[in-house]
Structures are given as C-alpha cells and as structure tokens.
C-alpha cells in the first residue's frame, strides 16, 4: 500500500511538471519610465491612434475599464457612442458614452481594441497640476503581467506565462470581477479581518466606510478627526480624516496609518462585503507585480517601506486653475483659517519656492508643527502669511 501511494505521488508530480512545461515563460514586451505624483499616483505617457500628442493616463487598479477625459475626446473630435451604462466610483455614479476600438501606443508596445468610456477629469487636472487625459484600468491590466518598480519609476509589461517572482515578498490572492479585493487585518479599538479594494488610483493611504465605523465601534467615538476633501468621480467629496492604530499587509505591519472615513450614501464600496480601500500612499511602499491572468498580486518591500506617513493638516484646499494655484476652501477652525488665508487667495510661493508647481507646494506643507511663509496674491496685491502646519495626531 505504501509503495502504491509513492507511485501515485510520483505520477502526480510528473503530471504537474508536464502541465507547467505547457506554459512558456512570461515574455517581457517592454519596460518604460512612469511619472509619480503626490501620494504615489502613477502617470503613464502614451499616444492614441495616429495622434501626435503624448497623453497622460493614471494607472488605476480601482478602475474596472479604461477611460478618456471629456475635453480630450472633444479636442480630438473622437466619434462617441451613447450607452445606457453607468460608471460607479467614490463620489457617485454617472451615465457614460464610449469611444470604441482605440489603440494606445506605449514605448515598445501597441495595445489595440480598447473601448474607452468618457468621463470628465478636469478636477484631477486641477489636483495634480498636469493634464489628466484618462485612466488605465482593468481593460489593459487583464491582458498582461505588469511589474511596478517604485524605486526606479519603471513599469515592465509581460506576455502572460510562467513568471519568476522576486524571492522575497508576499503574495496576495485577490478576488475580483474587475477590481482586486484583498483581505487584511486592521486593529484599533477592535481587530477585524476586512476586505479592501486594492486601488493604485486613490492618492491616500486607507479609506473606510462611515457605516462600518458606526456599526462596528471600530474607532472610539472620542477619537479626534478633522474635516477634509478628496476628489472623486463626480467632484469634491467631504470626508473625515484621522488615524488607525495598526494594519497588516501580508506579513508587513504598519502603525498609525492616516485614515479617511467616507459617508458612502449610494454604497459604491459595496458594504458590508467590502469595507474600504487601500490607496497608493500605502501601496507605493512595495514594488508590485500585478498578474491579473493568474489572479495574483506580489508585493516586495522597497526603499520607501519606512517613509513617514503624511499626518499634516492645513485645512485648506487648493487647485491648479488657469495656470494659477488657487485656494478654494478653508475649513473652520483650521490652521489655514488661523493664518488668515481665505478662498480666492492665489499661492505665489512657499518659503523660497516660487515654482508654481502644486506637487512641490504640497510636499512643503507636509511637515506638522513647522511654520512656513506663504506669499499670496489677494485682489492682485501680494501679501505674506505665516502658516503653522497642524497634525491629525493631536
């Protein structure tokens, strides 16, 4: 009997080996640089069809398709088809039109037969200070194995096959129809094993549904939070911002993670099945292999693993509008209000930086406790203000 079992095991191993031989090695198609913005957002540069201009796309695992900005589609006079479909995302849902059968050209790679839904990304252009022409999600990612190196700002694209993963790191085995859902242990007043969307297109660390926070008593009702705004599918959304004590991503542990709490009135997240999302400011701390064909995600800690989280709080929102960085909202009781800043102020410089670069200005405002001088134009006249940057930890 023992001999028979040994023979069976041997035959099984030979069968599995033969099956593996049927799959060729994953073949590298191309590697190219990406641009990284505030919060770990990835920008890919590509051209569309035979158009000469280079377009900017956000790489977004939280997108169930691929899309083009409304203004971009109108500018190039692309033929659009109406539909009765809707697209859902943080902030709501909306009806969509399509541009069908387009081709994207990346360095060393042409991706054909893409159906782009059309959406307005003006708010993202204003947030990041560069033209956002679209979002690349599942329609692209499902075709390839995609490796993201946040240390070198490199993206490599492979034809699906047997992939040689890094020796160290951890595997996530997401469930998804089009957006990966991964499970993680989160600890605060209580510990929970929760489902999150794996979302490289969200420029934050962690987001939870307000309904879950209320139902679970996960966070103490006495925990301090501040009011803030983030940008979603249909514009600006009010959220609460605080921290969560601990979170595990595979074997890797993080403490005092910034947490956005979102009142999800139309249940875009799909609560109670999914409780929130992991954003790019957490995910950028790993080099990532996205293997959608095999339904695997591999994470390897990179040099940003121990980067400090952004606990800063100014209480002001500012956007790149018509070539100027304009303050649009000031939260009551915030450091920005205490400094005397008001909506409509134009930021001309912070300290000695007069670059008019919104990403650089955001970086200068991420040091809690520091006092910074801000040169403002108000009613065309220059004024200097001193802002003491607050913290969500206090």
Query: What letter would DSSP give residue 24?
Result: P
Same fold yes or no, 27-159 and 170-283: yes
DSSP H helical segments within the chain, as ranges?
Answer: 2-21, 70-75, 122-128, 138-141, 210-216, 280-283, 335-339, 358-364
**pLDDT tens digits for range 330-342:** 999 999 999 999 9
For the cut 50, the answer to whether the pLDDT of residue 13 exceeds it is no
**pLDDT tens digits for range 80-122:** 998 877 666 555 566 789 999 999 999 999 999 999 999 999 9
The rounded distance, in Å, linking the Cα atoms of 392 and 314 is: 10
Token pair of 31, please?
Answer: 């590697």
Quick one: pLDDT band at residue 24, thresholds 50, 70, 90?
Answer: very high
Mean pLDDT of 20-46: 91
pLDDT on residue 10:
45
Residues 31-69 as b or e (16 or more Cβ within 10 Å = b): bbebeebbbbbbbbebebeeeeeebbbbbbbbbbbbbbb
Fold for 312-391, please state it.
Pdz3 Domain (2.30.42)
Domain assignments of the chain as residue spans, ordered by start: 27-159, 170-283, 312-391
The rounded distance, in Å, linking the Cα atoms of 241 and 234 is: 20
CB 374 within 8 A of CB 384: yes
Quick one: pLDDT band at residue 8, thresholds 50, 70, 90?
Answer: very low
Mean pLDDT of 198-214: 96
pLDDT on residue 349:
98
Average pLDDT, the chain: 92
For the cut 70, the answer to whether the pLDDT of residue 67 exceeds it is yes
Task: Classify residue 297 by burial, with Cβ atoms within 10 Å: 0-12, 13-18, 19+.
Answer: buried
**pLDDT tens digits for range 47-57:** 999 999 999 99
Token pair of 244, please?
Answer: 């969560």
pLDDT on residue 232:
64
For the cut 60, the answer to whether the pLDDT of residue 200 exceeds it is yes
For the cut 50, the answer to whether the pLDDT of residue 7 exceeds it is no
Token pair of 206, please?
Answer: 């962690």
Q: What is the pTM of this model?
A: 0.91
For the cut 60, the answer to whether the pLDDT of residue 16 exceeds it is no
For the cut 60, the answer to whether the pLDDT of residue 240 exceeds it is yes
Q: Which CATH number fits domain 170-283: 2.40.70.10, 3.30.428.10, 2.60.40.60, 2.40.110.10?
A: 2.40.70.10
Identify the CATH number of the domain defined by range 27-159.
Answer: 2.40.70.10
pLDDT on residue 177:
87
pLDDT on residue 94:
66
């Amino acid at each position: 009997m023992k001999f028979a079992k040994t023979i069976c095991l041997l035959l099984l191993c030979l069968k599995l080996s033969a099956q593996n031989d049927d799959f060729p090695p994953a073949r590298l198609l191309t590697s190219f640089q990406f641009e990284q913005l505030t919060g770990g957002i990835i920008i890919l540069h590509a051209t569309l069809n035979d158009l000469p201009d280079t377009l900017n796309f956000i790489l977004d695992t939280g997108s169930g398709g691929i899309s083009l900005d409304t203004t971009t589609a109108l500018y190039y006079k692309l033929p659009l088809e109406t539909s009765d479909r809707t697209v859902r995302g943080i902030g709501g849902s909306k009806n969509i039109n399509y541009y069908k059968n387009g081709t994207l050209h990346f360095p060393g790679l042409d991706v054909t037969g893409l159906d782009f839904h059309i959406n307005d990304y003006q708010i993202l252009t204003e947030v990041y200070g560069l033209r956002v022409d679209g979002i690349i999600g599942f329609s692209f990612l499902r075709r390839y194995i995609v490796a993201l190196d946040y240390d070198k700002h490199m993206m490599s694209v492979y034809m699906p096959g047997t992939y040689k993963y890094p020796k160290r790191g951890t595997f996530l085995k997401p469930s998804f129809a089009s957006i990966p859902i991964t499970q993680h242990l989160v600890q605060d007043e209580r510990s929970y094993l929760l489902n999150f969307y794996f979302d490289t297109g969200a420029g934050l660390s962690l987001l939870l549904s307000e309904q879950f926070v209320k139902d679970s008593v996960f966070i103490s009702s006495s925990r301090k939070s501040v009011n803030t705004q983030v940008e979603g599918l249909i514009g600006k959304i009010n959220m609460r911002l605080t921290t969560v004590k601990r979170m595990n991503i595979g074997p890797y542990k993080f403490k005092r993670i910034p947490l956005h709490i979102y009142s999800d009135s139309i249940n875009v997240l799909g609560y109670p099945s999914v409780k929130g999302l992991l954003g790019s400011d957490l995910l950028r701390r790993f080099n990532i292999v996205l293997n959608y064909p095999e339904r695997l995600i591999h994470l390897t800690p990179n040099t940003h693993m121990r980067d400090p989280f952004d606990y800063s709080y100014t209480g002001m929102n500012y956007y790149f509008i018509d070539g100027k960085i304009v303050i649009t909202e000031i939260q009551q009781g915030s450091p920005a209000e205490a400094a005397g800043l008001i909506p409509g102020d134009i930021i001309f410089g912070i300290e000695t930086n007069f670059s008019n670069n919104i990403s650089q200005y955001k970086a200068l405002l991420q040091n809690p406790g520091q006092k910074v001088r801000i040169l403002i134009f108000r009613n065309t006249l220059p004024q200097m203000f001193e802002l003491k940057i607050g913290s969500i930890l206090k």
